[in-house]
Chains A and B, each alone.
Chain A
Amino acid sequence: MNSDLVIKDLRVSVEDKEILKGVNLTVKAGTIHAIMGPNGSGKSTLAYTLMGHPGYTVTGGEVWYQGQNILELEPDERSKLGLFLAFQYPVAIPGVTVANFLRAAINAHRAEEGKDPKETAIPMAQFRKQLREQMAALGIDESFARRYLNEGFSGGEKKRIEILQMAMLEPKMAIMDETDSGLDIDALKIVAQGVNTLYAQHPEMGVLVITHYQRLLNYIKPHFVSVLMDGRIVREGGPELALELEEKGYDFLREEVASA
C-alpha cells in the first residue's frame, strides 16, 4: 500500500464558487511538505477537503492514500486510516472534557469490527499515563485534562491541545492548517517542538504544513515547499523557495504566473 498522499487534479467548490481548480500534489511518507500561499489561495479549503468537511463539494479529481481514494470515505474513516488535521480554528465541545474526548477518540481508533468496544478500549491506567506524559512534554498544565475541550481556551492553548491530540493519536499523515496563526513566538516554538518530537519518533510520518508565512518553517524544517495560488500549485521546490517568498513576497510569483 502506498503511504504517500497523492492529490490528483483536485477541484473543490464552496457554495458554487470554485476554490481549488485542479490541485496536483504528492506528500511523501516520511517527509515534511509545506504548502505556502497568500490569503484566499485555497489553503484551508485544501485542508478541510482532505479531512472530508461536508461544506466543501468535490467537483473533480482524486486523493489517494493507503490504496484508497479517500474522497469516498467519511471523516472518521479517514482518521482511522491515519490522517489527522490540526485545525486553524479548533472547535469547542461544551461539557466534554479533554481527557474524555481523547479517550473516545483513541478508543474509536482501537475499535474493531465484531469486537466488544470494552475489549479493545485502552486500559484506563495506560491512558492516564500516556496523557500525563504528553501534556508534560507540551507544557500543558494537568488541570486541562478535566476542562471542557477548547471552551474558554486562549489561541495558544487551543493549538497546544491540537498537538496533544496529534501526539496521542499518532497519525501517519498530519495536516497542519495555519498552526502558527495567532501564536506568539514562545507558543510557536513549543508547538513546533511538539511536531518535531513526534516526527522524530515516527520518521515514517508525513506532515503537510499549511502556512501563509515562512516564520513557522524556521522551526519545522520542510523537505519540500509548494506554492498554492488561486486554486493551483504554481511552484514547487525545496526549503529555499520559502526563503525566496519571504524575501520577495507573493507578488513576484503572481506576476510570473500571469506572464507564463
Chain B
Amino acid sequence: MTMKTFPPLGEISDALVIETSQAAGEPEWLTEQRVEAWRFFASAEPPFWRRTDLSKFKPEQVIAAADAAATSLYQEEDLADQGVAFTTLAQALRSHEALIRQYLGAAIEPTRHKFLALNAALWHDGVFLYVPKNVSIELPLTAVFSMPIPGGAIMPRNLIILDDGASVTFVEEYHSVAASDQAFAAPVTEIFLGNDSTLRFVAVQTWGEDVYHIGAQKARVGRGAALEWAAVNLGARVQHIEAETALEGDGSRVEWVAATFAADHQNLLTAPWLRHIGAKTEGHMDFKTVVKDQSYTTFDGMIKIERQSRATVSRLEEHALHLSPKARSDSIPGLMIDTNDVARAGHASTSGEVDEEQLFYMRSRGIPRDEAIHLIVMGFFEPVLDRIPNDALRQRIAEMIEAKI
C-alpha cells in the first residue's frame, strides 16, 4: 500500500498543516479548525492518566498518514439511490460539506486533551455515513482501519449521522495485518442519532501487540432513538478509549455491551460515560473483562443522571474474570444523580477467578479443566459476541478470544 505521510510530529509546523489542507482543496473553515487544533496539540502538555502507561510513547517521533489509505469500506449493496452516503470523510467534503461543517466536532471537543486535538488537526482517514430520513438498511456497513506502515500512525475521523427514523448497522474495526513496530492510532468517532432512529454500532479493536490506541467515541441520541453499542477490545499494547452516550432526547435508550480481553503485558482502559439528559431515557450497560498473564485493565465508568432528566431507568453491570493471579483489573464505577426523579438505577459488579463450582460441574460431565475454562470464558463474552451482526467477523473474534485463553 502506498501512502502519503507527514514528517514526524516534532517537525510539523502550522504552515505545513495549512498547506496540506489547502493542497487537498479543503474548505477554509476546516483549514482553520485544523490549524487551531494543531496549535493546541503543539502547546498542550500530555494528559496525566494514572492508569494508562504512556511512559514509553514518544509522540514527537510519530509519522502520521496524510491520506485515507488506511481506510477500507465494505457494503453489500449499492445504497446511493436511497440517498445513503457511505464514503471517506475526505471524499464526503465534496458532496456533503454543509452537513460535515454542522456536525464535525459537535460531539467531541477537540481541546479536551492533546490527542483529540491531534486527531482534529491531522485526520485524513475516516468514514462519513449519512442515512436519510426513514431509510432503513438491513446489511451492516463496515469500515476497517489498518496500520499501513510499520511504526506509522493513523488518526481516523468518523462521522455517523442518522436522520429521523433512519436505521442502520455500522461496524468500525481497527485491525493489524501483522504485529508491527510501535504504531499509534488516535481515532475519533462522532455519532448523531435523529429522532426515532436506530443504530447498531459495533466497535472492534484487534490491533497487533505494539500499538498505542488512544480513541474517543461519542453518540448523541435524539428523541425516541435507540442505540445498540457493542465494543470488543482485544488488541493493542496500550488502549485508552473514552466513550460517551448522551441520551439527550426524551425516551431515547441505549443497550451498551463490551468485551475486553487483556493478556501478556497489555494495558487496556475503557472509560464509558452514560449521560441521561432527556425524560424517560433508558440505559443498560453490560461490560465484561477477562485478564490473563501480567495484563492490566481499567473500567472507568460513569453514569450521570442530569438535573433536567425525569423517570430515568439505568443499569450498569460490570464483571471481570481473572485467569492468572498476576493479572489486574481495576473497576471505578461512578453514579452521579442530580435529580430526585429516577425510576430505577442499579449497579452490579463482580471480579474474581473462574468459579470452582462451575468448573467442577463441567468436569463431572467429562469436560477437561482447560476446555471448561474455554467454555466459561466464551460464555462470559457471549452477550457481546451475540451482537456482532456479521458471521465472519464474529467467527474471527471468537477465534481470537479462543487463541488468547
Chain A: residues with CB nearer than 8 A to chain B?
Answer: 51-55, 74-76, 78-80, 84-85, 87, 90-96, 100-101, 104-105, 108-109, 148, 165, 169
Contacts and interface: CB of A to CB of B under 8 A. Distances in A.
B366 A95 contact: no
Interface of B: 355-358, 360-369, 371, 375-376, 378-383
Contact of A169 (B355, B356, B366, B379): B366
Contacts of A92: 358
A101 B375 contact: yes
Contacts of B364: 51-52, 75-76, 78-79, 84-85, 87
Contacts of B366: 76, 79-80, 105, 108-109, 169
Contact of B365 (A74, A100, A108): A108
Nearest to A87: B361
A220 to B, nearest CB: 21
Contacts of A87: 361, 364
A29 to B, nearest CB: 20
B361 A96 contact: no
14 contacts: A51-B360, A52-B364, A54-B360, A74-B368, A75-B360, A76-B367, A76-B368, A79-B364, A92-B358, A93-B361, A93-B376, A95-B381, A96-B375, A96-B382
Contacts of B382: 94-96, 148
Contacts of B365: 76, 79, 101, 105, 108, 165, 169
The 6 tightest CB contacts between A and B, nearest first, are A95-B379, A95-B382, A79-B366, A91-B361, A75-B363, A105-B365
B358 A93 contact: yes
B230 to A, nearest CB: 15
Contacts of B367: 76, 104-105, 108
Contacts of A101: 362, 365, 375
Given A109-B366, A169-B366, A95 B371 contact: no
Contacts of B376: 93, 96
Kindly name the residue among B366, B369, B378, B383 whose own CB sees the greatest number of chain A CB atoms within 10 A: B366
A148 B379 contact: yes
A58 to B, nearest CB: 15
Contacts of A51: 360, 364
Nearest to B382: A95
Given A94-B379, A105-B362, 20 more contacts: A53-B360, A54-B360, A55-B356, A74-B363, A75-B364, A76-B363, A76-B366, A76-B368, A79-B364, A93-B376, A93-B379, A95-B382, A96-B379, A96-B382, A101-B375, A104-B367, A108-B365, A108-B367, A148-B382, A169-B365
